[in-house]
Structure 1
Amino acid sequence: MKNIIVVGAGIGGLTAAVRLQKLGYNVTIYEKEATPGGKMNQIKSGGFTFDVGPTIVMMPDIYREIFEFCDRNPDDYIPMQKVEPMLDLFFRDEEKLSFTSDLVQLVKTLEKISEEDAQGYLQFLTDIYKRYLIAKNAFLTKSFRGPLDFYNPKSIYAGLKLKTFNDAYSSISKYVKDERLRKSLAFQTLYIGISPYQGPSLYTIIPMIELLYGVHYIKGGMYTVATAVAKLFKELGGEIVYNAPVEELVIENRKTTGIKVNNTVINADAVICNVDFPYAMRELIPDEKQRGKYTNKKIDNMAYSCSCFVLYLGLDKKYPTSSVHNIYFADDFKLNVDELFEKGTLPEDPSFYLYRPSLMDADLAPDNQEALYVLVPVPELSKFSDWSDEMQHQYRNKIIDLIKQRTVFKDIEEHIVFEDCYTPKKFKDNFNAFNGATFGLKPTLSQSNYYRPHNKFKYAENLYFCGSSTHPGAGVPIVMQSAKLAVEELVKDDRP
């Protein structure tokens, strides 16, 4: 039995550790915080419970698979229920759209707009589903070591069939004319931190996945996933060492021999690192010569996803029922997106997301009260860094005013009894997110698939990576897939 160290108890590290432990390895996770989960964490205070980071459960089969891999019933660990309606989309001067994964209701919604758009929308779903199957089989479920893993006739043919060179918004516009429908299919690229006006058209698979596979809720919120996978890991005999920040990945003669914690070297036969890849390069491998092409200059010049400004509000009042997930679009969505990615300024009229988990789960707030999660996409720190207390307070007030203007929470300021806030700086400080970029490296064509950091590290043996900045990319199910690929690479080396 070989000793494996996993660095970081985020969902990627936990998933990798469970798989390795089940496969017969002796696995220890080292985590800098006192709890598991990374960005998939939790705030609890005054009877209110909030998820810190991710909130939307998509691709539920991937969540379930890690438990099934260990011959466990997922329902015993992560009880799910479908969210309906899936989400509501609000526009300042136009009628809202309510989306469902019920095909009959979806068609009715589309036909109210126009039969032409209904036909185009369904054609879009058909086309992007075909492309999704190609991407899943040719790229998302495969890792890359050398050029021939990517530059081969089969992969090149699959890549051409994906038609990735158009941006997401332009691709969508070919199918539907109604501007609300275009936005409804485009904004989800922000889930992985890239502009729909720049991101490859393939990322329109995200709304397709929502519509065809549904959006779900897990009892207790997303943090239940982190605690459930950590519980499974311990049941299998694994160990998690908390409050143990890793200071260095120990590499000798191009071979990884362990980690350094509290200035003490802990040896291992292999290491899987779930720390954000750019941070790991800069901070955990201090000798640039050991990193190959990933010099400080290279890391600084890579493109990073946007970040988030998040308010967690406990309200001593129940408000009229609406959807659990709600998107409010800026009047000029294109300008809003340009501010995030091009101008590097805080959006003047931002789009924002309201998550109301206590509508699904009464245990997340005291009786007759409500937990409200407010997320605003903002630039990452290399583009905008002034998150002083004064700036944070000013932007908080701007967002509260928008909520009062545009939502059912007209008197929200009078009913806030608990409040917390995360800024890009806090994502950087708390979770080692490089530049505070919540979703890691931006998934441009030049930073995707073979061109994204690989699961097996090229420049040192016995070192593997998973997480949102590593292939295949960001989003909870995709990070779990990243962990699976990292484990497969390790096993391939250990048991050829």
Structure 2
Amino acid sequence: MRTVPGPTDHVVVVGAGLAGLSAALHLLGAGRRVTVLERAEHPGGRAGRLDLHTDRGTYRVDPGPTVLTMPELLDEAFAAVGEKADERLDLVPLDPAYRTHFADGSTLDVHTDAAAMEAEVRRVCGPDAAGQYRRMRRWLTDLYEAEIDRFIGANLDSPLDLLGPDLVRLAALGGFRRLGPQVARILPDERLQRIFSFQALYAGVPPHLALGAYGVIAYMDTIAGVHFPRGGMRQVGQALADAAEAAGATIHYGRTATGLERRSGRVSAVRHGATDDPAGAVERLACDAVVLTPDLPAVHRIVGRTPRRAVPLRWSPSAVVLHAGLARPRPEAAHHTISFGAAWESTFREIIDDGRLMSDPSLLVTRPTATDPGLAPDGCDLLFVLAPCPNTERGPLDWARVGPAYRDELLGVLAARNHPGLGELAGDVEISRLVTPADWAAQGLAAGTPFSAAHTFAQTGPFRPRNLVQGLANAALAGCGTTPGVGIPPVLISGRLAAQRITGSDVGTPRVRTRG
């Protein structure tokens, strides 16, 4: 593994998102002095915070990810400084992890427990499907075991680093064949196929085209389990930041990195200024090494150049998100609901190939107040409705005009499907906030997508943008644009991998256990 040469006593981490805070904790655990620069006034990055105020009180919104899996990786980060996740977070396991509704009127709850899920599959899909589910669970677990150490949790300097028994094992499992057909061979029921393959869209690729290796995301969702922190997802970033500061890190909020100073091919200082005064005074922060965690276009601006690629990066689809405060509770709705339309592969063609909105959308609806009622005023409820959509490169829509109409359309779709607790919402919405690709783009996210570079074969593993910066001997990257990729688990791992590039140490890398 290539590591940063020379002194690395003081490391500046740009960004107090989950990747940056993970890196900071692992660096602190390896004995480094750490300073973090964060442009917002709070930690968390995309897993930040949004408060919607009404006369009834405040809705505490999670504007970023709402699904938390693999909490063991949080333990790994906290353990680097001698702490435990449960000392700073109250993580609630969700059961069901998801409630899924289908166009034929059937409903299936997704359970982490194998026996409970087998019983649910037998109830909805029949006895043959129950045995097929067991096969799927074994396959996903085997995929995870083959991938976690060599392909997900390790720094890669070359495709040759992949050679070994794990590569042979992954190939034998079908990791380099297409995910959709692999799942279909095990699970003939189309409803189950969707449940165990829709996660590929998080990686920016439709299930029928994604590598089988990305079944590991379904492992994280359906076997490792889904959790929710009381107080909202914002608590994750806050807890990591508090642990970092307790271990000696200094975090400066409201500071935007604007550039780097160089000396003999090394970063000698990070230039930064007040976020709310971009034309104001610029300060310098001397350092021995730097970890850059913003989205790739922002990293390239800070570095001062964009690396050349034979083929330009392909960006993931984006999403429209509606945050809605409801004046009355909807206790029938689960914490996470997936509402599948009748269409499937055609929806991916619409948003990825055609640059159009889904004509028959599948939606993720999150009701965090199902687990923590305190996130909404008394007697109220909070909903998050996510609809995948084209990014701004594939579908340059006029979101100022399209957005309000699409909001009404999404509410109309849920009303027509009339899932328990989710029908006829419009009359109960007392406050809302719509987030579109235009808003993601305004935050500096490439192609207006919060999911960064798609996980195509040419952008996976050693072919993804590397976490070392060419021409700068002491700079590393972390975050969803680099290895291993998109999602809370990969982002937490990316912080540890960046720290290892600087320290050359295996400190804080215990094996993450599996569940079968």
Aligning the two structures, in what range does the TM-score lie when normalised by the shorter sequence?
over 0.9
C-alpha deviation, 1:146, in angstroms: 4.0
Are the counterparts in 2 of residues 12 and 274 from structure 1 also a CA contact under 8 Å? yes
Structure 1 residue 435 corresponds to structure 2 residue 441: no
C-alpha deviation, 1:207, in angstroms: 2.2
Q: Give the equivalent residue in structure 2 for 1:472.
A: 484
SS of equivalent to 1:177: coil
Q: Answer with 66-75 or 480-489: which moved more.
A: 66-75
Are the counterparts in 1 of residues 35 and 251 from structure 2 also a CA contact under 8 Å? yes
Are the counterparts in 2 of residues 128 and 202 from structure 1 also a CA contact under 8 Å? no
- Matching residue's letter, 1:433: L
Are residues 389 and 167 of structure 1, via their aligned partners in 2, closer, same or farther at CA, if it must alter by over 3 Å?
A: same
| Structure 2 runs not aligned, ≥5 long | 1-7, 274-281, 508-516
Hey, what's the Cα distance between the residues in 1 that align with 2:241 and 2:121? Answer: 42
Structure 1 residue 37 corresponds to structure 2 residue 44: yes
Q: Give the equivalent residue in structure 2 for 1:185.
A: 196
Structure 1 residue 68 corresponds to structure 2 residue 79: yes
Q: Give the equivalent residue in structure 1 for 2:295.
A: 276
Q: Give the equivalent residue in structure 2 for 1:254.
A: 265
What whole-Å deviation, never above 9, does each CA across 1:81-125 have from its counterpart, x for those lacking one?
A: 111111111112231111112222211222231322222221122
C-alpha deviation, 1:157, in angstroms: 3.0
C-alpha deviation, 1:362, in angstroms: 1.3
Are residues 206 and 276 of structure 1, via their aligned partners in 2, closer, same or farther at CA, if it must alter by over 3 Å?
A: same
More helix per residue:
1
Q: Which runs of 4+ in 1 moved over 6 A?
A: none
**Which residue of 12, 26, 29 maps to 1:22?**
29
Are the counterparts in 2 of residues 330 and 336 from structure 1 also a CA contact under 8 Å? no
Are the counterparts in 1 of residues 143 and 175 from structure 2 also a CA contact under 8 Å? no
Q: Give the equivalent residue in structure 1 for 2:68.
A: 57
Structure 1 residue 119 corresponds to structure 2 residue 137: no
Q: Give the equivalent residue in structure 2 for 1:413.
A: 426
Structure 1 residue 241 corresponds to structure 2 residue 252: yes
Hey, what's the Cα distance between the residues in 2 that align with 1:258 and 1:29? Answer: 13
Structure 1 residue 89 corresponds to structure 2 residue 107: no
Q: Answer with 413-422 or 478-487: which moved more.
A: 413-422
Are the counterparts in 2 of residues 6 and 271 from structure 1 also a CA contact under 8 Å? yes
Hey, what's the Cα distance between the residues in 1 that align with 2:327 and 2:374? Answer: 14
Hey, what's the Cα distance between the residues in 2 that align with 1:29 and 1:19? Answer: 13
Q: Superposed, which structure 2 residues align to 1:196-345 within 5 Å?
A: 196-262=207-273, 263-281=282-300, 283-288=301-306, 291=307, 293-294=308-309, 301-345=312-356
Q: Give the equivalent residue in structure 1 for 2:393.
A: 382
C-alpha deviation, 1:232, in angstroms: 0.9
- Matching residue's letter, 1:490: I
SS of equivalent to 1:174: helix
C-alpha deviation, 1:428, in angstroms: 2.2
SS of equivalent to 2:39: coil
Hey, what's the Cα distance between the residues in 1 that align with 2:496 and 2:296? Answer: 17
What whole-Å deviation, never above 9, does each CA across 1:54-103 have from its counterpart, x for those lacking one?
A: 11111111122222222223222111111111111111223111111222
Q: Give the equivalent residue in structure 2 for 1:370.
A: 381
Q: Give the equivalent residue in structure 2 for 1:2.
A: 9
What whole-Å deviation, never above 9, does each CA across 1:392-443 have from its counterpart, x for those lacking one?
A: 111111111112212333332221111111111212222x221122111111
C-alpha deviation, 1:253, in angstroms: 4.5
SS of equivalent to 2:364: strand
TM-score (norm 2): 0.89
- Matching residue's letter, 1:4: V
What whole-Å deviation, never above 9, does each CA across 1:288-327 have from its counterpart, x for those lacking one?
A: 5xx4x35xx85xx211111110011001101242311000
C-alpha deviation, 1:449, in angstroms: 0.8
Are residues 312 and 35 of structure 1, via their aligned partners in 2, closer, same or farther at CA, if it must alter by over 3 Å?
A: same
Hey, what's the Cα distance between the residues in 2 that align with 1:457 and 1:157? Answer: 30
Q: Answer with 212-221 or 369-378: which moved more.
A: 212-221
Hey, what's the Cα distance between the residues in 2 that align with 1:122 and 1:330? Answer: 26
SS of equivalent to 2:101: strand
Hey, what's the Cα distance between the residues in 1 that align with 2:156 and 2:47? Answer: 27
- Matching residue's letter, 2:324: L
Hey, what's the Cα distance between the residues in 2 that align with 1:422 and 1:52? Answer: 9
SS of equivalent to 2:196: helix
C-alpha deviation, 1:153, in angstroms: 4.3
Q: Give the equivalent residue in structure 1 for 2:514.
A: none
TM-score (norm 1): 0.93
C-alpha deviation, 1:485, in angstroms: 0.6
Task: Report the number of matched residues.
Answer: 485
- Matching residue's letter, 1:12: A
Hey, what's the Cα distance between the residues in 2 that align with 1:84 and 1:159? Answer: 30
Are the counterparts in 1 of residues 118 and 133 from structure 2 also a CA contact under 8 Å? no
Hey, what's the Cα distance between the residues in 2 that align with 1:25 and 1:138? Answer: 26
- Matching residue's letter, 1:381: T
Q: Give the equivalent residue in structure 2 for 1:492.
A: 504
Are the counterparts in 2 of residues 321 and 359 from structure 1 also a CA contact under 8 Å? no
Hey, what's the Cα distance between the residues in 1 that align with 2:233 and 2:89? Answer: 9
Q: Give the equivalent residue in structure 2 for 1:130.
A: 142
Hey, what's the Cα distance between the residues in 2 that align with 1:249 and 1:494? Answer: 28
Q: Answer with 157-166 or 454-463: which moved more.
A: 157-166
Are the counterparts in 1 of residues 453 and 481 from structure 2 also a CA contact under 8 Å? yes
SS of equivalent to 2:468: coil
Are the counterparts in 2 of residues 192 and 439 from structure 1 also a CA contact under 8 Å? yes
